């Protein structure tokens, strides 16, 4: 079953990106 979201899951994308950046020594603003 496919569930359609009204908007992309930007929060999950944001956290994924920052998690990768934190591994490089960059902290969240």
Share of the chain above pLDDT 70, in %: 76
- Angle in degrees, CA 8, 21, 15, rounded to 5: 30
Share of the chain above pLDDT 90, in %: 7
Averaged confidence pLDDT in the chain = 79
> 28 near 18, Cβ under 8 Å?
yes
Better pLDDT: 21 or 4: 21
Query: Could you give the number of structural domains in the chain?
Result: 1
Arithmetic mean of pLDDT, 13-24: 89
Band of pLDDT at residue 21, cut at 50, 70 and 90: confident
Question: Which residues constitute the domain of residue 19?
Answer: 1-29
Arithmetic mean of pLDDT, 9-24: 88
């Amino acid at each position: 079953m496919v569930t359609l979201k009204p908007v992309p899951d930007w929060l999950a994308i944001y956290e994924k990106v920052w998690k990768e950046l934190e591994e490089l020594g960059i902290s969240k603003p």
